[in-house]
Structure 1
């Protein structure tokens, strides 16, 4: 990352042959760093092993938070299965969920990436708010 910052700070000067090679080195190093990040988050394991958690989970608790500093609202659902944990929903869909509702879940085993989150054939994955 430091090399990328140095490269940007010199103004993309490729008039000198040193900076031409420097540009290639920066791109290669950042590509390896990106691959290393993917390995750390276990996405490569999920793609290779294709293991996932599949099952029904119940809504354990609904919570609403208001942050005065950021003037933002959070609508959080806590599920009874620890693998799923807490998910934040848009307000209009959070209101449609009741404690005790069951959801069908498909989630990657290693990274926790959510493939499906359905209730009564309604896809709630698209209603999630990512923080």
Structure 2
């Protein structure tokens, strides 16, 4: 099953999103990586890296983010991972809420990472 990582500047935002999605996509590994360790707004590449490792499976991991530096820190986190893991992690440049929701539902029914990316293609935020 494809794992899902939610990255946001706000821990409350991604924890709430994780709760919502987890009730709809039972059994999918979802991890929220929001805010900084001191509880402030921001993103932390170490927190993102840990989240990826937590949900990792051989099926891969899809990472969703909110804005700006979340993408930069997600890319940094992936670069810090062992190559055997990082090659199976993909950042999705789609709407955070809708993209993560569709991806989690697709993962719960056993779709591959490629099929999931095809499902969310229409939700792109960057063309």
TM-score by length of 1: 0.21
**Greater strand fraction, Structure 1 or Structure 2:** 1
Structure of greater Rg: 1
Bigger relative contact order, structure 1 or 2 (CA pairs below 8 A, ≥6 apart) = 2
**Greater helix fraction, Structure 1 or Structure 2:** 2
